[in-house]
């Protein structure tokens, strides 16, 4: 019987592989022309399938029968740091009931794989892709957590850093020791000839804090490509051993119960001299092969891409319906435009961006959010800004100074990140509540200002949650957690202002969530309202979503339609009362339009 069962399960894998084998062979050989390496890749996939636990194989079958599971209206996410929320993985497992209270279906834990300390870029410098960092627990703790989350209906997302390793990774150590095999895992050069050719064309990621794209390694006596920080060495995916090793690690995480892999910095992973080393065709070949490997070994697992690029670059990362790549992407551009609209009281840029994303093919899906572990980078669409009479540089300066609290009338308390005086570029940091004015109102004991700040906070969350895709909260937003200014007293954290919104979760404040009249209760109930809003037929995976002209630049209108149901969301981004009129809305609204209070979000329903 055991042999028969094994044969049946093997046939499942073999059938999946048979569907993809010709394409996988062609892609791999086109990129590497190395048949032996292709055999190694397939062997790694087969080994991962053989090692996959039985309960996860059952989940695979369930998800294959319901491929749109991550697009349903009840999807509701949260992102957090394990140590800041609970301390370690075991303690986090004890806090799962708190997550269940919020009806979460998706939990994104910030990087928790083995990393150097303290220089690890928030965990994005990984020194072992196969093991949990000892400060947070063990692989067994991770597997136990994912099992508990699965039982609660929560899918775990982990970051998978594809572009680089820590300089303390065993490959990098071998390279530094002079091993040419492992030097070929990276981009290592004896002199500046080739690095200078790259630097002449390749933009700098962090020109202020980590200028240039190469670092000199004294021990190795070579220049090594480090596009992010000197302690993060870019991987050389021209070497098939790199791809096979990284793919094997991704499958290992899947077998520990990780259901979503957020592939970090994926546009950067392929380099060609003479190009900007962004969004090259080979990147898509690699992501497509990763998707094929998941569909063969663990089809319950989905890919979420971190692609901080213009909308015109995004569709390619989804692939096509016939050859899909990422299942979903972080909606970075909408996040930025939401904050821009709030500060400027002008939704024109936001509306245009929503229209561009809604025009993407149906297979494009997004994770919408307001704040996460990272900064707000003011990458707005400069062409559109110019078309509507906005000076891009002046607008960017206005925004980061506004959220720094340095513009007259600003309610915000944030900080700058990576200010570059040469280009006047900067990014912004802070929690949602502090950026919306909650912190300033509390400090100044201004109760009316606090009420308005809460309205702003909820407006932003409601607008974000109404858009195509599903919402993800930043842990603490559900209780209005404020900035953690104490990071300035920690020598290991003081130089990175992103630590302003990376503070320990305040469990004492969370205890107030059920006490009427408290800030925590207002926001907690507001987030419950988001889930109730999305429990509607108009949030079906195939719902049609578009904007609607309000004839008022301060008010955004988004319409959702599914079958006979139509739901319109009206969002006033202004601190003043606004009137709106929707063309063709006879019978839906009064003939003189509708009046929205400051920062009001209103839902209007009608049936065909």
Q: Which residues are part of the catalytic machinery?
A: 264, 306
* Closest CA relative to residue 341, chosen from 313, 378, 387, 309: 378
Q: How is residue 157 written in tokens?
A: 């997302």
Helix H, strand E, coil C: the string for 73-122 is CCCCEEEECHHHHCCCHHHHHHCHHHHHHCCCCEEEECCCEECCCCCCHH
d(CA 571, CA 574): 9
Residues 310, 325: Cα–Cα separation, whole Å: 18
Query: The dihedral of CA 469, 475, 481, 484: what is its sign?
Result: negative
SS3 30: helix
**Residue 541 CA from chain centroid, whole number:** 20
CB 236 within 8 A of CB 246: no
Of the candidates 235, 187, 238, 239, the one whose C-alpha atom is nearest the C-alpha of residue 215 is 187
Distance CA 243, CA 577 (A): 56
Give the residues across from 77 on adjacent strands: 106, 472
**Beta carbons within 10 angstroms of residue 341's beta carbon:** 24
Coil, helix or strand at residue 61:
helix
- CB count within 10 Å of CB 407 equals 15
Q: Which residues contact 434 (CB under 8 A, 6 or more apart)?
A: 412, 413, 414, 440, 482, 483, 501
Could you give the strand order of the β-sheet that contains 601-607, starting from the edge strand earlier in sequence? 544-547, 555-562, 565-572, 601-607
User: How would you classify the pairing of strands 77-80 and 106-109?
Assistant: parallel
Copy the structure tokens of residue 254: 């899947």
CB–CB of 580/571 below 8 Å?
A: no
In this structure, are residues 520 and 479 in contact, taking their beta carbons and an 8 Å threshold? Answer: yes
Q: How many residues does the chain have?
A: 608
Closest by Cα among 424, 354, 351, 428 to 392: 424
Beta bridge partners of 418: none
Residue showing tokens 């300035």: 488
Interaxial angle between packed helices 348-358 and 332-344, expressed in degrees from 0 to 180 and rounded to the nearest 10: 160
- 7 CB contacts (<8 Å, ≥6 apart)? none
CA distance 233 to 166: 6
């Amino acid at each position: 019987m055991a042999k028969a069962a094994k044969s049946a399960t093997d046939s499942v894998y073999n059938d999946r592989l048979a569907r993809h084998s010709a394409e996988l062979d062609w892609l791999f050989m086109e990129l590497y022309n190395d048949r032996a390496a292709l055999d190694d890749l397939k062997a790694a996939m087969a080994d991962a399938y053989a090692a996959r636990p039985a309960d996860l194989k059952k989940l695979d079958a369930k998800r294959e029968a319901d491929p749109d599971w991550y697009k349903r209206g009840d999807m509701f996410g949260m992102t957090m740091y394990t140590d800041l929320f609970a301390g370690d993985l075991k303690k986090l497992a004890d806090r799962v009931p708190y997550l269940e209270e919020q009806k979460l279906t998706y939990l994104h834990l910030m990087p928790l794989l083995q990393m150097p300390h303290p220089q690890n870029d928030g965990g994005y410098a990984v020194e072992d892709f196969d093991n949990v960092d000892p400060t947070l627990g063990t692989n067994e703790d991770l597997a136990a957590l994912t099992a508990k989350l699965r039982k609660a209906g929560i899918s775990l997302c982990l970051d998978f850093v594809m572009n680089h390793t820590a300089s303390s990774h065993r490959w990098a150590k071998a390279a530094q020791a002079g091993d040419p095999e492992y030097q070929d895992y990276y981009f290592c050069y004896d002199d500046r000839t080739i690095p200078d050719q790259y630097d002449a064309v390749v933009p700098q990621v962090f020109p202020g804090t980590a200028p240039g794209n190469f670092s000199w390694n004294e021990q190795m006596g070579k220049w090594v490509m480090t596009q992010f920080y000197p302690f993060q060495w870019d991987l050389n995916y021209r070497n098939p051993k790199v791809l096979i090793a990284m793919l094997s690690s991704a499958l290992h995480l899947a077998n520990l119960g990780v259901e979503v892999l957020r592939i970090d910095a994926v546009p950067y992973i392929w380099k060609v001299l003479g190009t900007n080393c962004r969004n090259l065709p080979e990147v898509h070949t690699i992501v497509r092969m990763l998707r094929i490997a998941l569909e063969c070994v663990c089809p319950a697992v989905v890919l979420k891409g971190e692609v901080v690029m213009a909308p015109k670059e995004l569709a390619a990362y989804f692939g096509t319906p016939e050859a899909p790549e990422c299942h979903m992407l972080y909606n970075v551009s909408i996040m930025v435009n939401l904050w821009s609209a709030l500060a400027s009281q002008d939704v024109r840029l936001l509306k245009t961006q929503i229209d561009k994303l809604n025009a993407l093919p149906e297979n494009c899906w997004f994770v919408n959010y307001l704040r996460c572990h990272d900064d707000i980078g003011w990458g707005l669409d400069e062409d559109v800004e110019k078309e509507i009479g906005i000076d891009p540089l002046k607008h960017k300066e206005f925004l980061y100074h506004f959220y720094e609290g340095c513009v007259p009338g600003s309610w915000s308390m944030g900080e700058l990140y990576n200010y570059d005086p040469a280009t006047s570029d900067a990014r912004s940091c802070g929690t949602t509540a502090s950026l919306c004015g909650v912190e300033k109102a509390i400090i100044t004991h201004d109760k009316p200002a606090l009420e308005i700040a809460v309205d702003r906070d909820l407006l932003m969350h409601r607008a974000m949650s109404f858009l195509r895709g599903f919402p993800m909260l930043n842990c603490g937003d559900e209780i209005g957690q404020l900035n953690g200014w104490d990071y300035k007293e920690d020598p290991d954290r003081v130089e990175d202002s992103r630590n302003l919104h990376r503070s320990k979760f305040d469990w004492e404040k969370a205890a107030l969530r059920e006490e009427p009249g408290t800030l925590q209760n207002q926001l907690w109930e507001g987030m419950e309202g988001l889930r109730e809003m999305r429990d509607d037929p108009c949030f079906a995976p195939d719902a049609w979503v578009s904007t609607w002209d309000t004839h008022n630049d301060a008010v955004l209108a988004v319409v959702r339609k599914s079958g006979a149901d139509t739901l319109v969301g009206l969002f006033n981004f202004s601190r003043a009362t606004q009137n709106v009129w929707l063309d063709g809305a006879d019978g839906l609204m009064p003939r003189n339009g509708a009046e929205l209070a400051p920062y009001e979000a209103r839902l209007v329903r009608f049936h065909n």
